[in-house]
Amino acid sequence: MTATITRGLTGVGAALAIAALLVLSSGKNPLVAYEALAQGAFGSPDRIAVALNKVAPYLLTALGVALCFRARVINIGGEGQIALGGLGAAWVALTIPAAPPVVLVVLSALAGAVAGAMWAGLAALIRLTRGVHEVLVTLLLNFVGVLLVAEALHGDLGEPGAGFPQSPLLERGAWLPKLVKGTDLHVGIVIAIVAVFVVHRVLWHTPFGFRLRVRGASEKAAAYAGIDMHRSFMGVMLISGALAGLAGAIDVLGVHYRLIEGFSSGFGFTAVSIALIGGLSPLGVLPAALFFGFLETGALAMQRAVGVPSPLVSVIQGLTMVFVLAAIALGGARRRV
Amino acid sequence: MLEMRGIEKSFGAVRANRGIDVSIPAGRIVGLLGENGSGKTTLMNVLFGMVRADAGTITFDGRPLVHHTPHDAIAAGIGMIHQHFMLVPAMTVAENVMLGWEDAGAWLRHDAVAQRIAETSTAYGLDLDPHAVVGALSLGAQQRVEIVKALLRGARLLVLDEPTSNLSPPEVARLLPVLRKLRAEGRSVVFISHKLQEVLDLCDEVIVLRDGAVAGACPVAGATRETLATMMVGRELPPPLARVETTPGREVLIVSDLRALDDAGVERLHGVSFSVRAGEVFALAGVDGNGQAELADVIGGLREAMHGSISIDGDDVTHATVTRRLRAGLAHVPADRATTGLVSAMTIAENLALRESDAPPFRRGPWLDLAATRALADERIAAYGVRAEGGDALVATLSGGNQQKVILARELGRRPALLLAAQPTRGLDPGATRFVIDQVLALRAEGAAVLYISTELEEVMAVADRIGVMFGGRLVGVVSRDDADLTTLGLMMAGAA
């Protein structure tokens, strides 16, 4: 655990230092740029709320990815699972708008999780019955998932006359409750943090989590241990899909209050980065997701204030990942699984 | 020819080499003996430039080797043949020889190289076809490819790491004259081995390492197995556990007409039938690759039986899951310790829970009972004498012998009715081998049935009540230990009886 933190901090530090050189080379003062970045991320309660709202779906999706990767199941279908989660949540919220508020929001969020799980389950089914590698299946189902959302918005779920592929505004009863009055901060971050501890507990303290770790370490040992490879594959994919689906639902019910075409764009792959930087450990994923969320939130402010283009933030994210992964690879020989 | 002086090398807190002085004269075959973890491999890796020594000097042919790479070592005339060959199975012999070799030319000179391989092969009696695909060759032939590779690169000192451990007796018999011929030409050979008899038969001198230091060096003439063994382990091996007289009881394992495919889908097991009784050790001897591995996998539940049946204590488990076999009383020590029998990146405690994480004491309610698992680990570590810091130590940090003890602690700790032990002493030093055999015999004395698969005849003779020999996927003969003699068994193993 301490190793994960040290690696993370070193990686972030090195990435910021190199990015500072880039800023310097474009004739801007990196300190000023970073100050604007920090202001944009932490400057006001509103900024923090925006950032934390961004962190929640990242965190949930990255947890699922981490769990899969631990079991050596390469699920890169977060994007599609998030999309389906958002679709499921919006569909339920629009189908039973008259339901009592608490019931409506809970059912919608659950529908998101179920839809995400089914999308991942479909990928798992194709893998297990047809033998197509999960990297291919989950990747390709991302496109299908995103297109399904578009299809729904251009059809029954779309808002008539909106001019943009989006659903009508959801009933207030389907909105996620706010955590702090007067800000946009919704309960998603709490759900995500609870999920961190639940997944941590499952991974390290249940026979199921143990089987996932054995499976990920050695397939031969897993067979010798009597682990049902198909069942554990399906199990971890369903959990991962449910977490991603919940992430999609939270974004729809907590930020947009409607389903929007392309709302999930980039989330799935960001989640993979976060899971890797977090050392595939549920507790490590938490700081990694916070870092990504706040960094991205501050990016636009930095661009406005100093004129440093916001994609610099992607450079920082990328460099952090390179450094952290390099550190993991270098110290990896005796790593515990 | 080679002088190594004061070689020191530490890995963290472990001092693998603590000031080793070694000298290899020209035209000699020098045996390098030592238990696992005595520093042999580290020393040779230092020589070959694969790891850098912390201190010490190396002089080869009068020239110092400083901060050298394997590439420099080869250029200087040192050839190294690892226990696990460094060959590309999908390529031909000639292509493997050319790989990474400057003399092969910037534009590969296939025919010229093939010609030189053929000449060298004839000169040394290696019997290699330069155009054969390496993956299709026997392990013995692959080893000869490694020898050709080294010779064509101009090796004057050849280091062979455990060269006979994967070979059948006829293949070993073929390797030794090649090495003698090299000696006759004035080349030197370092022969790393565990097998005392081979060292005595082949070598001129022997150097024994113990705990990272030279425990002794002497000419082979005059040395005996006993003196060498004593030097290696630094203690007298205790006499073998007295075999308790047991009366074989009920048939615990009944295998009938078992057939199975190997990984490539080729039938490797052609109808094997036998039974093992309670209180008896049935040993299966045979050269590797005659179906024993497949047989063990099928009985252990890791490979599907194509035909036939297996029953344990009257329970038909032919198609049962691994877990059901375990419940039926099967303990399984697989041949592949590091990646099948253990998860080396997990702790000792977790490895004890490996096959039963769903049952007490490892599980309580929905949770893993980590405290109970750790307590059990501490108890087993003490009972089996595992040299480790504690139950939380990673298995990867243990020596081979201690890893095997962890497997035994898990499998025998269940009080099994049947033990399936596949090559349980492979790669272990004499002390650890002894421990394994003692445990097997103790289990037998308690009335369990044991199926013991090994390629080491002496070991088979030491543990077995009855001995079966596998050849070509069939059980070609079963004899009781009292009637067995090494010659007959050897002939059966070679398919000649």
- Domain CATH number, residue A98: 1.10.3470
Pair A60, A195: CB distance under 8 Å: yes
| Distance separating alpha carbons of residues A179 and A45, to the nearest angstrom | 12
What's the pLDDT at A333?
A: 46
Q: Could A218 and B334 be called an inter-chain contact, meaning their C-beta atoms sit closer than 8 Å?
A: no
CA distance B100 to B40: 26
Rounded distance between C-alpha atoms, residue A59 and residue A309, angstroms: 26
A214–B contact, CB cutoff 8 A: yes
3-state SS, residue B143: helix
Average pLDDT in chain B: 88
Q: Does B332 touch chain A (CB under 8 A)?
A: yes
**Biggest distance spanned by C-alpha atoms of chain A:** 62
Say what percent of chain B tops pLDDT 90.
56
A230 lies within 8 A of chain B by CB? no
C-alpha angle with apex B70: B67 to B71, nearest 5 degrees? 100
Chain A interface, mutation test: which of B330, B337, B340, most A Cβ atoms within 10 Å?
Answer: B340
Task: Give the model's confidence band at B234: pLDDT under 50 very low, under 70 low, under 90 confident, else very high.
Answer: low
B302/A210 touch (CB, cutoff 8 Å), yes or no: no
A325 domain residue, yes or no: yes
pLDDT tens figures, A115-173: 999 999 999 999 999 999 999 999 999 999 999 999 999 988 999 888 889 999 999 99
Q: What is the mean pLDDT of chain A?
A: 92
Highest mean pLDDT pick, B35-39, B110-114, B251-255: B251-255
Q: Do A335 and B345 touch (CB under 8 A)?
A: yes
Section B440-457 average pLDDT: 92
Question: Is the pLDDT score of A29 beyond 50?
Answer: yes
Q: Give the nearest partner residue to A223 out of B302, B345, B347, using CB atoms.
A: B302
More confident of the two residues B431 and B319: B319
Which residue bears the tokens 């009257």? B314
The pLDDT score that the predictor gives to residue A60 is 98
pLDDT confidence tier of residue A302, bands split at 50, 70 and 90: confident
What's the pLDDT score for residue B37?
A: 67
Mutation to test the A interface, candidates B323, B346, B347, B394, most A Cβ within 10 Å: B346
Sheet containing strand B213-219, strands side by side: B78-81, B157-161, B188-193, B29-34, B205-210, B213-219
Interatomic CA distance for residues B488 and B497, integer angstroms: 7
Contacts of A206 in chain B (CB under 8 A): 366-368
Q: Where are the beta strands (DSSP E) in B286-445?
A: 307-312, 315-316, 330-333, 363-364, 367-368, 418-422
The DSSP-derived string for A113-131 is HHHHHHHHHHHHHHHHHH-
Kind plus residue range of the DSSP H or E element containing B20: strand B14-24
The percent of residues in chain B predicted with pLDDT above 70, rounded, is: 95
Report DSSP state, residue B216: E
* CB pair distance less than 8 Å for B345 and A334: yes
The residues with which B11 forms a beta bridge, in sequence order, are: B14
Half-sphere exposure of B368 (CA within 13 A, CB side): 21
Q: E-strand spans in B318-448?
A: 330-333, 363-364, 367-368, 418-422
Q: How confident is residue A223, by pLDDT bands cut at 50, 70 and 90?
A: very high
Distance CA A237, CA A247 (A): 15
Q: Are A148 and A116 in contact (CB under 8 A)?
A: no
The residues near B481 (Cβ < 8 Å, ≥ 6 apart) are B461, B464, B465, B466, B467
DSSP 3-state of B310: strand
- Asked if B340 lies within 8 A of A218 by C-beta distance, the reply is yes
Task: Specify the pLDDT at position B237.
Answer: 47
Instruction: Label residue A283 exposed, middle or buried (CB < 10 Å: 0-12, 13-18, 19+).
Output: middle
> What's the CA gap between A154 and A150, in Å, rounded?
6
For residue B398 the two structure tokens come to 């243990």
Asked if B370's CB is within 8 angstroms of A224's CB, the reply is no
Cα gap A182→A185, rounded to integer Å: 9
Angle between helices B139-152 and B110-124 (to 10 degrees): 110
Specify the pLDDT at position B10.
Answer: 85
Interchain pair A214, B397: CB under 8 A: no
SS3 B55: strand
CB interface of B with A, residues 344-363, below 8 Å: 344-347, 350, 353-355, 357-358, 362-363
Nearest-CB residue to A220 (from B340, B345, B363):
B340
How far is it, in rounded angstroms, from Cα B158 to Cα B150? 8
380-419 of B, contacting A, C-beta below 8 A: 394, 396-397
Tokens of B436: 């394994």
* Record: contact B396-A334, CB cut-off 8 A: yes
CB B229 within 8 A of CB B395: no
For the sheet with B55-60, list strands across it: B14-24, B2-11, B55-60, B63-64
**Structure-token match 């059948």, residue found:** B168
Closest-approach residue (CA) in chain A for B370:
A205
Decide: helix, strand or coil at residue B219.
strand
Average pLDDT rounded to a whole number, residues B324-350: 94
* pLDDT confidence bin for A61, thresholds 50/70/90: very high
Instruction: Determine the residue of chain B that is closest to A220 in CA distance.
Output: B340
Contact flag A336-B345 (C-beta cutoff 8 Å): yes
Is the pLDDT assigned to residue B225 strictly greater than 90?
no
Is the model's pLDDT at B33 over the cut of 90? no
CA triplet A294, A295, A299: central angle to 5 degrees?
A: 115
- The answer to whether domain B239-329+416-497 has CATH 3.40.605.10 is no
Residues of A in contact with B293 (CB under 8 A): none
User: Confidence band (pLDDT; 50, 70, 90) for B235?
Assistant: low
Nearest to B363 among A207, A223, A226 (CB): A207
Confidence of residue A329 (pLDDT cuts 50, 70, 90): confident
A206, A214, A336 member nearest B394 (Cβ): A336
Confidence label for A1 from pLDDT (cuts 50, 70 and 90): low
pLDDT digits (tens, 9 = 90+) for B134-159: 888 888 889 999 999 999 999 999 99
B8 against B234, higher pLDDT: B8
Subunit contact B346:A217, Cβ cutoff 8 A = yes
Q: Do A214 and B343 touch (CB under 8 A)?
A: yes
* A224 contacts chain B (CB < 8 A): yes
Same topology for domains B2-233 and B239-329+416-497, yes or no?
yes
* Least confident piece of the model among A215-229, B46-60, B222-236: B222-236
Query: Sign (positive/negative) of CA torsion A226, A227, A228, A230?
Result: negative
CA nearest to A289, candidates A219, A188, A221? A188
The predicted model gives B262-267 an average pLDDT of 80
Candidate from A205, A221, A335 with C-beta closest to B343: A221
Contact A334 B301 (CB under 8 A): no
- Give the homologous superfamily in CATH for domain B2-233: P-loop containing nucleotide triphosphate hydrolases (3.40.50.300)
Q: Does B342 sit within 8 Å of A221, measured CB to CB?
A: yes
Q: Does A217 touch chain B (CB under 8 A)?
A: yes
3-state SS assignment for residue A324: helix
CB contact under 8 A, B354 and A214: yes
CB B40 within 8 A of CB B17: no
Q: Give me the DSSP letters along B322-347.
A: HHHHHHTTEEEE-S-IIIII--TTSB
| Spatial CA neighbour of A80 closest among A163, A153, A147, A177 | A147
Instruction: Please give the tally of structural domains in chain A.
Output: 1
Among A220, A226, A337, beta carbon nearest to B355: A226
Cβ contacts (< 8 Å) between A225 and chain B: which residues? 322, 354-355, 357
- In this structure, what DSSP letter does residue B33 have? E
Residue A336 lies in a domain: no
Residue type, B473: G
Query: How many residues are there in chain B?
Result: 497
Region B437-451: mean pLDDT is: 94
The Cα of A200 is separated from the nearest Cα of chain B by a number of Å equal to 13
Q: Are A337 and B343 an interchain contact pair (Cβ–Cβ within 8 Å)?
A: yes
Largest CA distance in chain B: 71
Domain span holding position A63: 2-330
Say if CB B325 and CB B314 are below 8 A apart: no
Nearest C-alpha of chain B: how many angstroms from A70? 12
At B213, list the tokens. Answer: 């230091």
Residue B42 has, within 13 A of its CA and on its CB side, a CA count of: 26
The verdict on a CB contact (< 8 Å) between B322 and A225 is: yes
Do the beta carbons of residue B418 and residue B449 sit within 8 Å?
A: yes
